[in-house]
Structure 1
Amino acid sequence: MRAPRPRRRRPGWLRLPRWTATLTWKAALFITVMCCALAALLGALVHAAVTAQTVSQSREKALGKLTEVTEAYEAGEPLPPYAGVDPPGLPGSLRELAVGGERGTMVSTFQDRPIMWAAGPADGRALAVYIDYSLSVRTITGLDRAIVGSSVLAIGATLLVGAFAVTRVTRRLHLTAQVARRISAGDLDARVRDPRTEDPTRPQDEVATVSAALDTMASSLQRKLLSEQRFTADVAHELRTPLTGLTAAAELLPEGRPAELVRDRVRTMRSLTEDLLEISRLDAGSERVDLDVHELGPLAGRVVRASGTDTEVRIVRDTCVETDRRRLERVLGNLIANAHQHGRAPVVLTVDGRVVTVADAGPGYPAYLLEHGPARFRTEGGSKGHGLGLTIAAGQSAVIGAVLRFSNPADGPAGGGAVARLELPASPPPPGCPQA
């Protein structure tokens, strides 16, 4: 089976600008092309009709004079100045037609003027008359100019009206797209609220239908998410009371392997409950930051030591950042725990100015996480965990204004695997702090 050929890319000088892909430009181009085609068709029809009428009138006039001249020639009377037998300037084809015994007419130029010739047979020669055709030529030329001018004016007016109408539609489409982006970014209160959808008596077009569907979808999504958030918060709060009792009861058990297993499971459930409560607070948007200036290198070192893991710390460039220390430690702690739980050693934490990376040499992040970000209660394969650690890390990063990105570079600090990159917001460091 033959492999498909790779698609060739157009050279840079053949690529159209980005604005040519807009609906406004396409509509304007379509309107212009259609107006030009319609104007050309109508202009050609009018030009052909008027030219045929003008030529017909001049031909009848010339043939009428030819009849008068023929009668005078047959009566032996002198011919008028505009007539003659084989006169100079008579077109050869018309002369041959008259010598052949037929009458005919033809427009040509004689003495730098357009004239209409009419010729007929006269004793084996051509008897011809001519009339001035300048007025007819000026009439046709003036008509052509009027057609071109009116066509340009009509095209311009139609283009302005069409562009105004299309712009109103595209403006509504841009508003709908903007609201959709706000919803995807987490602003579930964003709505289009198209006036056509709020008044049922007004006719709705396709844009209004899309706007109404988007608003309905956003409202439904908001209700479901709020219901899930309330459920998560309620479950976590309800679990805290029995877990407190379980913790106290586990401490009363006699020392031994069963007691250790029970205490370990209770600690796990307690940690999961606290994670659920933290996620519910992040979802509710009720978190408030406690900003202070901290030196990033020592802070990262304390987090690694508190994790009790074999994590290498590399300080490329140390600096001071204005952030919430507790939340930043929570983010870094979750990233380190995730690297050890789902990755492989070595795990390296690197501080390079305002950027902190946590890398491991494991199989890397799953595809869904790289594309859509962390998702709670979702993990790949049979790996242990609930997907809450990275979800909390991403939520707390957003609270402190940091940007958290995930990637699987082949040449990461730990030799490949997964890399979490945390970029803290810029802030001028106070005197005495390292400069990034």
Structure 2
Amino acid sequence: MRGIFLRLVPERVERAGIRTGLRWKLSAAIALVGALVAIALSLVVHNAARVSMLDNARDLADERLQIAQRNYELSGRPNFPDIKIDDPRLPAELRAKVKQGRRATFVADGRRGEPDIWAAVPLKDGHVMSLHTGFTDRSTDILKDLDQALFIGSIAAVLGGSALGVLIGGQLSGRLRKAAAAANRVAKGEPDVRVREAIGGVVRDETDDLARAVDAMADALQQRLEAERRVTADIAHELRTPVTGLLTAAELLPPGRPTELVLDRAKAMRTLVEDVLEVARLDSASERAELQDIMLGEFVARRVAAKDPDIEVLVVHESEVTTDPRRLERVLFNLLANAARHGKPPVQVTVEGRVIRVRDHGPGFPEDLLADGPSRFRTGSTDRAGHGHGLGLTIAAGQARVLGARLTFRNVRPPGAAPDMTAEGAVAVLWLPEHAPTNTGSYPMLPGD
């Protein structure tokens, strides 16, 4: 059951490349949009202000030209030093308009990049009166001040947008992190956790929809797994009586090879039924450890010697632990049975503090077992030629969870050997917890889990 949840929400996600947070992505997006808007707005405001100042300058030049025209008609000469009669520098475009008998103004590009203001009017005597002025220093200063204000405002808008993006993105990413943490707890087998309650808050957004969807999916999977577990347990329970009867009847058969074959298969079926029932109980997460204080090295040495005196037990460091002896023995015997069936002698057991290692010298564990952990009805033999039903390691892992322990698997290869090189043995390691499992079903795990 927990394995399926682990596939649903992986505990660790490895990604290639640079990983950036949502708050920084959102902040960068808002800053970029703010910068583009500020630049566009600054250009519009700068151009509008420049056009307005040019229009005012042209109107002022036109008014001065009209005054000069009236004075010229009265006195016969211009009264202002910047008023010219038939100025040869008069732009051709403006000269063409004046020849049509119209008073006109014109803006030309100056030598220093500043605009030149021209105004011209035809006189009654056929001459052309014109006025030539430049953009005033005051107008230039006003434009510079305006550009500076627009630049400072743009910077403030970008920084403010970035800060707003960090704030909004931080709240959103915080809710997503809470949702991910709750989903990981569900993946570890805590069915009472609800993602929607974990994220909390009064804001209702898409993260709430995601949380509700994850909660609904987890509930549906939990119900389906529970239904499958009950069906499996019911079938195994119903098979116990006929299998027991079959075994009893087989023992009453006359001695001989056929009787031995029937007894062997009947015993294998009874073992399979008992193992399936045990897996179903472990899947229900209702198993609790019956704790005792034991000396781990002495306990392991005594149990292994009673099972197989030929197995070497090395106690590197003795330690007193609080655990369930019956479940610990079940894990130990299953690991020894797996090593005997799928490995090669010698089988060695090492006890070091709270750690128990079981090593054989066979071809090693299959790669899929190392990657995904024990799987039901998958034996430790790569060609599936070994005996057994593939439930031994699954039961060992389940009992280890009840003990609050961690069970790991690895293959032994020479130093510097290629990953595809044949292993020189397999090692199963049981890491008992520093603190005993509680009676609430929450099992302390070792750091790094």
TM-score range for the pair, normalised by the shorter chain length: 0.7 to 0.9
Aligned positions of 1:9-408 closer than 5 A:
18=19, 21-62=20-61, 64-65=63-64, 83=82, 97=89, 133-156=136-159, 158-159=161-162, 162-193=165-196, 207-308=207-308, 310-379=310-379, 380-383=382-385, 384-408=387-411
User: What is the CA-CA distance between 1:162 and the residue it aligns to?
Assistant: 4.7
Deviation digits for residues 101-152 of structure 1, max 9, x if unmatched?
9797679899xxx9977699xxxxx997657823323332333244334434
Q: Contact (CA 8 Å) 2:46, 2:143: kept in 1 or not?
A: yes
Q: Is the counterpart of residue 423 in structure 1 residue 437 in structure 2?
A: no
Deviation, 1:337, is 0.6
Query: Is the alpha carbon distance of 1:105 and 1:291 closer, same or farther for their aligned partners in structure 2, counting shifts above 3 Å?
Result: same
Contact 1:24 1:166 in 2 (8 A): yes
| CA positional deviation for 1:309 | 6.8
Task: Give the direction of change, closer, same or farther, for the CA distance of 1:278–1:132 in structure 2 (3 Å limit).
Answer: closer
Q: Which one-letter code corresponds to 2:356 in the other structure?
A: V
Bigger shift: 308-317 or 385-394? 308-317
Counterpart residue type for residue 224 of structure 1: R
In 2: Cα distance, 1:410 partner to 1:395 partner: 28
Corresponding position of 2:101: none
The answer to whether the Cα contact below 8 Å between 1:62 and 1:118 also exists between their aligned partners in 2 is yes
Q: How much identity, in percent, do the aligned residues show? A: 41
Q: Please state how far the C-alpha of 1:83 moved relative to its aligned partner.
A: 4.2
Q: 1:115 to 1:73 in 2, by over 3 A?
A: farther
Give distance in 1, aligned partners of 2:91 and 2:404.
Answer: 100
Q: Is the 8 A contact 1:191 1:218 kept in 2?
A: no
Aligned-residue offset at 1:215 = 2.8
**Which consecutive unaligned segments of at least 5 residues does structure 1 have?**
1-14, 86-94, 121-125, 196-203, 429-436
CA 1:321 to 1:117, structure 2 compared with 1: closer, same or farther past 3 Å?
A: same
2:349 aligned counterpart, secondary structure: strand
Scaled by the length of structure 1, the TM-score of the pair is 0.73
* Contact map agreement 1:65 1:129 (CA 8 A) in 2: no
Count of equivalent residues: 389
Instruction: Find the counterpart in structure 2 of residue 433 from structure 1.
Output: none
Q: Distance in 2 between matches of 1:163 and 1:366?
A: 47
2:373 maps to a residue whose letter is: G
CA distance in 1, matches of 2:134, 2:196: 74
Residues 355-410 of structure 1 show CA distances to partners (whole Å, capped at 9, x for unaligned) of 22222232322233222211112345433322211011111111111111112241
- Following the alignment from structure 1 to structure 2, what is the Cα–Cα distance between the partners of residues 354 and 209? 45
* 1:259/1:105 CA distance change after superposition, 3 Å: closer
Write the distance in 1 (CA, Å) between the matches of 2:106 and 2:231.
Answer: 100
Between the aligned partners of 1:268 and 1:303, the Cα distance in structure 2 is 23
Q: What whole-Å deviation, never above 9, does each CA across 1:154-195 have from its counterpart, x for those lacking one? A: 445544555555455444433443343233222334333489
- Could you say what secondary structure the match of 1:418 adopts? strand
Question: Do the aligned partners of residues 304 and 79 (structure 1) sit closer, same or farther apart at CA in structure 2, a change above 3 Å counting?
Answer: same
- What is the RMSD of the two structures over their aligned residues, measured on CA atoms? 4.1
Query: For 1:251-287, what per-residue CA distance to the aligned partner results, in whole angstroms no more than 9, with x for missing partners?
Result: 4444443443333333323322222222222122222
Please say if residues 330 and 396 of structure 2, whose CA atoms lie closer than 8 Å, have aligned partners that are also in contact: yes
- Structure 2: runs of 5 or more not aligned: 1-16, 96-104, 121-128, 199-203, 416-421, 437-449
- Rounded to whole Å, the distance in 2 between the matches of 1:218 and 1:427 is 30
Q: 1:54 deviation in Å?
A: 1.0
Does the 8 Å contact 1:240/1:270 carry over to 2?
yes
Match of 2:98 in 1: none
Q: Are the structure 2 counterparts of residues 411 and 312 from structure 1 closer, same or farther at C-alpha, using a change threshold of 3 Å?
A: farther
Tell me: CA distance 1:78–1:214, structure 2 relative to 1, closer, same or farther (3 Å): closer
Q: Which amino acid aligns with 1:304?
A: V
One-letter amino acid matched to 2:44: L
> How far off its partner does 1:423 sit?
1.2
Work out whether residues 27 and 161 of structure 2, in 8 Å CA contact, stay in contact via their aligned partners in 1: no
* Distance in 2 separating the partners of 1:427 and 1:219: 31
Counterpart amino acid of 1:325? P
Answering whether residue 409 of structure 2 is matched by residue 410 of structure 1, we say no
Change (3 A) 1:105 1:263: closer
> What CA distance in whole angstroms lies between the structure 1 residues aligned with 2:107 and 2:223?
87
Query: Do the aligned residues in 1 keep the contact of 2:68 with 2:79 (CA within 8 Å)?
Result: yes
Describe the SS at the equivalent of 2:407. strand
What is the CA-CA distance between 1:299 and the residue it aligns to? 2.1
User: SS of the residue aligned with 1:43?
Assistant: helix
Alpha-carbon distance in 1 for matches of 2:267, 2:214 = 44
**How far apart, in 2, do the equivalents of 1:404 and 1:224 lie?**
27
**Distance across 2 between alignment mates of 1:244 and 1:36:** 80
Task: Tell whether the 8 Å contact from 1:351 to 1:357 is kept in structure 2 after alignment.
Answer: yes
TM-score normalised over the length of structure 2: 0.71
Deviations 1:21-54 (A, max 9, x none): 1222111111110110111011111111211221
Residue 407 of structure 1 contacts residue 420 of structure 1 at CA under 8 Å; is this kept in 2? yes
Aligned 8 A contact 1:116 1:132 in 2 = yes
Distance 1:84 1:217 in 2: 87
Of 324-333 and 213-222, more deviation after overlay is shown by: 213-222
